A and B are shown apart, each in its own frame.
Chain A
Amino acid sequence: MEPLLSIRDLRVRYHDGTEALHGVSLDSPAGQRVALIGPNGAGKTSLLLAIMRAVDFTGQIAIDGLEVVRRNEEACRGRCGMTFQNADDQLFMPTLLEDVAFGPLNQGLAPDDARLRATAAVGAVGLGGLESRPAHHLSGGQKRAAALATVLSMNVKLLLLDEPVSNLDFRSRHRVIDILGDRTEAMLLATHDLDLAGRLCGRAVVLDDGRVVADGPSGEILADRSLLGAHGLA
């Protein structure tokens, strides 16, 4: 069976000469949740950005059989939903509801259908009743949940989540974990939160210095203290 996400020999080099990824290869079937763990600067965010074709790369990436190249850019992005480390970068519309409806409207939904979808997503992340609030009137935890709602409202096959629970308090963190645990989309979850990786993902990929240094069931990877210690994770 063809994997949903297929990455071959992916290399990312930024304009300042920094090499963020050195030949990463990865396959992931539909519905699989993969934790992408690694220390700061390991290349986790660069990998997610490359999948969205937001940075220049060499190598091959395919999503659901469609190669990530310029001519397929919009189609590929339409199959993925990505949240950023900083929720303020994700929330750019004047109100929460408009923000959450932004993606569905761009996917071609009629305004009324987009409103329904957005209202459901806002409710699902526990922000029901705050639809008309501007983002700057939301707390940090609410912004994070709102950022999640902006991609949950879209009809995508792959969720790319960059540090989805960083800076969240205990309750907000558990809410996000519960929400993500109920989703059926495939996920690539970049984090250095090992507890989150263990709770949500059946598979863990350890990245360090732009290379995959371990790939396997998250239970085994997270139990390997020497591996984690060698790569600044424990």
Chain B
Amino acid sequence: MHHHYIDRFAQGDSPVHHLDARAKLLAATAYLAVLISFHRYQVAPLAPMAILPLAAIWMGRIPLWFALRRLLVLSPLIVTLCAFSPFYDRAPQAVAWGPWQFSISGGWLAAGNVAAKFALGILALTALTCTTPFSLLLEAMRNMRLPRMLTMQLSLLYRYLFVLIDEAMRLRLGRDFRGAALAPLPRRLAATGGVVGALFLRTLERSQRVHLAMRARGFTGDPRHLRRLRWGGADTAMLIVVGAYLLFCRWAYPWILKGH
């Protein structure tokens, strides 16, 4: 069914795809930490932060439209948040932009900051997930000592999310093919409630069958896995470059902007 977009491009073949998942996960985590650390009124200093995710997307051969579309899909909540920001924070802030200096309310700056952080964060996560198969990301998490039960649950979530989507689509088609669109609203709502209830029950029953299938193959609660990750020189080099660039973005560039 139509859930191919979820892990699209992750099985590709590019220099970014070939990097170790641990290196990419570390780089993405560092990137997000630095991104969040910018002050809420800082907007222009965030500009060079766009280079890293865009470069990863370009080198990973992921179409930019795909990343931007994902951004659009997730943006309504953030746009609403940003739209209200100027009403809550009216304190004037002095802004210097090259030779120009002007005053603007803090709410507008905060809105710009939140929107930019959101966009850059989504681009970075898109670059990570579109160049790394989820199974390798899970292995990287296990390697980095994240709780094993958490990674196990993420693994099952990833696996059965697709089954759940398929089942939801089939149930929806079953409802729609019997003229649900023509039914009055109360009956349509009742049908939707039925779909949700059926999905819940099926999920519960499936979880019991999956648990049984795991026990039948010797699972006793201690997940064991194959090892597929290999750290190479390129991974170390990438981390050094990303680390140096993040230091530049966080400290050197704002310092330059201030005109020192």
Contacts and interface: CB of A to CB of B under 8 A. Distances in A.
Interface of A: 49, 52, 54, 74, 77-78, 80-82, 84, 86, 88-95, 97-98, 101-103, 105-107, 111, 114-115, 118, 132, 134-136, 150-151, 154
B75 interface: no
B210 A105 contact: no
B216 to A, nearest CB: 5
B217 interface: yes
Nearest to A86: B209
B217 A106 contact: yes
Interface string B153-165: 0011011101100
A70 B8 CA distance: 45
B213 A90 contact: yes
Given A92-B156, A136-B3, A74 B226 contact: no
A150 B217 contact: yes
Given A93-B155, A98-B225, A106-B220, A134 B135 contact: yes
A106 B209 contact: no
Nearest to B219: A106
Interface of B: 3, 7, 11, 133-135, 138, 155-156, 158-160, 162-163, 166, 206, 209-210, 212-220, 224-227
Contacts of A95: 133, 135
14 contacts: A52-B212, A86-B209, A89-B212, A92-B156, A92-B160, A92-B210, A94-B159, A101-B226, A102-B224, A103-B218, A118-B226, A132-B133, A136-B3, A136-B162
B153 to A, nearest CB: 12
Nearest to A133: B11
Contacts of A114: 226
User: What are the 10 A-B residue pairs with the smallest beta carbon separation, nearest first?
Assistant: A106-B218, A94-B135, A136-B162, A103-B217, A105-B224, A89-B209, A95-B135, A82-B216, A54-B212, A90-B213
Nearest to A89: B209
Contacts of B212: 49, 52, 54, 84, 89
A85 B5 CA distance: 28
Given A86-B209, A114-B226, 5 more contacts: A54-B212, A54-B215, A77-B215, A89-B213, A93-B159
Contacts of B162: 134, 136
